């Protein structure tokens, strides 16, 4: 067969493979990126991280954040870059105290209902201006065939950190607020929905090609609470952004949503849904893959282990999603102890 390349418009030739899958195409070789692909497993990240001082300084210095965003693209040639920032810049922009304690993770001052009533989104875009500058700089430097993914945390997950002040085993403090004072939680979620809408619109206008909404703590909710506090608010964010940018592309990641996945997809209107490794891909394929692209779902520990087990796990994912829209990823973020050689092995296996 002769392919007449001259007649293909440049935009089609260079359209990022991730965007082609988000827009409905099935690709024989799936696009690849990894959650937390910029991070401590990379020596070049650790070097810049030390230079920046604090983690938030790194997030708010466009020159450094741009460099860190591009590091994994240069090293591995992933199909997409993800903005280097954190989901907790939103509470920070709302005026809350946010610190990242070495070896312990994030720490915030736990918010109470009286403080929730005082929250205002007025300063959010001004305070996040450096992050938006990073988005624009990355898009300028990134090749046209690579996608840039922007992101925010889902209101539920961000709320759990604001209420507990940190990650706890099952985010009980927020579930207690949901049960005891649902009006207060409604107000907090509403502030986060409005802040996320303006933030994501700004990211898309600055050059993000798609945005991912991380709901890392959706699994701790009962099915009814999941609808109210996780899927519902994400649906409002997506509708709010699309009211301004009708073709905005969304990847939803309701970690551990499990039996709630189909209803999540229907309620929210995402273009793709991220699934973790506990979800049987065959079932996902039968029930959901006809409606949206599927992103996932290698266990990050299998990537740490490497070897023949890694190849087998990759092959199983590719096999169960053959003929469907797959974005190859992990089922959660890459961990710091991951050997670089195993990431190279993963890419070679998928592209080979
Ligand atoms: O490469 C990328 O994926 C982009 C950057 C990114 C970070 N955090 C950088 C980061 C993204 C998309 C996030 C999302 C995020 N942040 C989530 C959702 C995804 C998930 O992992 O569930 C959550 C819950 C957070 C909150 C957060 N930030 C935690 C719990 C931690 C501590 C855990 C850890 O790995 O240290 C962070 C810190 C953080 N965010 C780091 C990075 C690279 C490590 C900080 C450091 O370098 O010291």
Active site residue 40: yes
Ligand 1 atom 41: residue of nearest CA: 39
Rg (CA), the chain: 20
Q: List, for residues 53-99, the tens digit of each pLDDT value.
A: 899 999 999 999 999 999 999 999 999 999 999 999 999 999 999 99
pLDDT at 103: 85
pLDDT grade for 9, boundaries at 50, 70 and 90: low
Which of 161, 209, 249, 276 is catalytic? The answer is: 161
Average pLDDT rounded to a whole number, residues 223-230: 96
Kindly state the tokens that stand for 210.
């798609």
CA nearest neighbour of 211 among 196, 193, 190: 196
Comparing 12 with 179, which gets the higher pLDDT?
179
Average pLDDT rounded to a whole number, residues 318-330: 97
Q: Tell me, using a 6 A CB cutoff, whether residue 107 lines ligand 1.
A: no
Q: List, for residues 38-53, the tens digit of each pLDDT value.
A: 999 999 999 999 999 8
CA 10 to ligand 1 center in whole angstroms: 36
Q: Tell me, using a 6 A CB cutoff, whether residue 334 lines ligand 1.
A: no
Distance CA 26, CA 179 (A): 43
> Considering its fold, how many domains does the chain have in total?
1
Angle at 231 between CA 225 and CA 233, to 5 degrees: 100
Distance CA 220, CA 330 (A): 20
Contact by Cβ (8 Å): 329, 30: no
pLDDT at 258: 85
Average pLDDT rounded to a whole number, residues 311-338: 98
Active site residue 175: no
CA 118 to ligand 1 center in whole angstroms: 27
Instruction: Judge whether residue 1 has pLDDT over 60.
Output: no
Q: How large a percentage of the chain has pLDDT more than 70?
A: 96
Distances in whole angstroms, Cα of residue 170 to Cα of each of 157, 266, 276: 11, 26, 17
Tracing tokens 């199983």 back to the chain, one arrives at 316
CATH of the domain at 154: 3.20.20.210
Dihedral sign (CA 154, 155, 160, 162): positive
CA 6 to ligand 1 center in whole angstroms: 43
Instruction: Judge whether residue 208 has pLDDT over 80.
Output: yes
pLDDT at 120: 97
pLDDT grade for 352, boundaries at 50, 70 and 90: confident
Q: Tell me, using a 6 A CB cutoff, whether residue 100 lines ligand 1.
A: yes
Give the chain's largest Cα–Cα span: 69
pLDDT at 327: 98
Q: List, for residues 274-319, the tens digit of each pLDDT value.
A: 999 999 999 999 999 999 999 999 999 999 999 999 999 999 999 9
pLDDT at 37: 98
Ligand 1 atom 13: residue of nearest CA: 86
Comparing 345 with 102, which gets the higher pLDDT?
345
Q: List, for residues 133-147, the tens digit of each pLDDT value.
A: 999 999 999 999 999
**C-alpha neighbours within 13 Å on the C-beta side of residue 24:** 1
Q: List, for residues 227-275, the tens digit of each pLDDT value.
A: 999 999 999 999 999 999 999 999 999 999 988 999 999 999 999 999 9
- Nearest atom (ligand 1) to Cα of 333: 21
Q: Tell me, using a 6 A CB cutoff, whether residue 105 lines ligand 1.
A: yes
Kindly state the tokens that stand for 244.
């301004």
Q: Which of 32, 33, 39, 159 to mutate to test the pocket of ligand 1 (most atoms within 8 A of CB)?
A: 39
Q: What range does the domain containing 185 cover?
A: 3-351
pLDDT at 11: 61
CA 349 to ligand 1 center in whole angstroms: 27
- Nearest atom (ligand 1) to Cα of 58: 47
Q: Tell me, using a 6 A CB cutoff, whether residue 166 lines ligand 1.
A: no
Which of 23, 36, 181, 190 is catalytic? The answer is: 36
Active site residue 161: yes
Kindly state the tokens that stand for 143.
């090749």
Kindly state the tokens that stand for 103.
């070896």
For the chain, list the strands marked E by DSSP.
80-82, 98-101, 105-108, 147-153, 210-215, 250-254, 272-274, 293-298, 326-330
Task: Using DSSP, state whether 252 is helix, strand or coil.
Answer: strand
pLDDT at 152: 98
């Amino acid at each position: 067969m002769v392919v007449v390349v001259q007649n293909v418009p440049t935009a089609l030739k260079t359209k990022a493979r991730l965007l082609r899958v988000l827009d409905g195409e099935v690709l024989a070789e799936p696009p690849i990126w990894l959650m937390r692909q910029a991070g401590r497993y990379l020596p070049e990240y650790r070097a810049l991280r030390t230079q920046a001082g604090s983690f938030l300084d790194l997030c708010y210095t466009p020159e450094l954040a741009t460099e860190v965003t591009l590091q994994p693209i240069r090293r591995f040639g992933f199909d997409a870059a993800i903005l280097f920032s954190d989901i907790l810049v939103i509470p920070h922009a709302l005026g809350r105290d946010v610190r990242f304690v070495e070896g312990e993770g994030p720490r915030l001052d736990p918010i109470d209902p009286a403080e929730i009533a005082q929250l205002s989104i007025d300063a959010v875009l001004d305070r996040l201006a450096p992050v938006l500058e990073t988005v624009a700089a990355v898009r300028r430097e990134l090749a046209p065939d690579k996608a840039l993914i922007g992101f925010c945390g889902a209101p539920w997950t961000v709320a759990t950190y604001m209420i507990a002040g940190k990650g706890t085993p099952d985010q009980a403090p927020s579930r207690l607020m949901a049960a005891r004072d649902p009006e207060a939680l409604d107000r907090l979620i509403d502030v986060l929905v409005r802040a996320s809408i303006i933030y994501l619109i700004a990211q898309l206008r600055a050059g993000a090609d798609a945005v991912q909404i991380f709901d890392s703590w959706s699994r701790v909710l009962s099915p009814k609470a999941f609808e109210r506090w996780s899927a519902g608010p994400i649906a409002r964010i997506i509708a709010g952004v699309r009211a301004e940018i009708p073709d905005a592309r969304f990847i939803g990641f309701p970690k551990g949503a499990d039996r709630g996945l189909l209803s999540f997809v229907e309620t929210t209107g995402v273009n793709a849904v991220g699934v973790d490794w506990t979800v049987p891909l065959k079932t996902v394929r039968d029930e959901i893959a006809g409606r949206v692209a599927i992103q996932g779902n290698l266990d990050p520990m299998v990537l740490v282990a490497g070897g023949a087990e890694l190849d087998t796990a990759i092959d199983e994912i590719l096999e169960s999603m053959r003929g469907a829209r797959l974005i190859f990823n992990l089922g959660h973020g890459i961990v710091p102890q991951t050997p670089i050689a195993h990431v190279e092995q993963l890419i070679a296996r998928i592209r080979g």
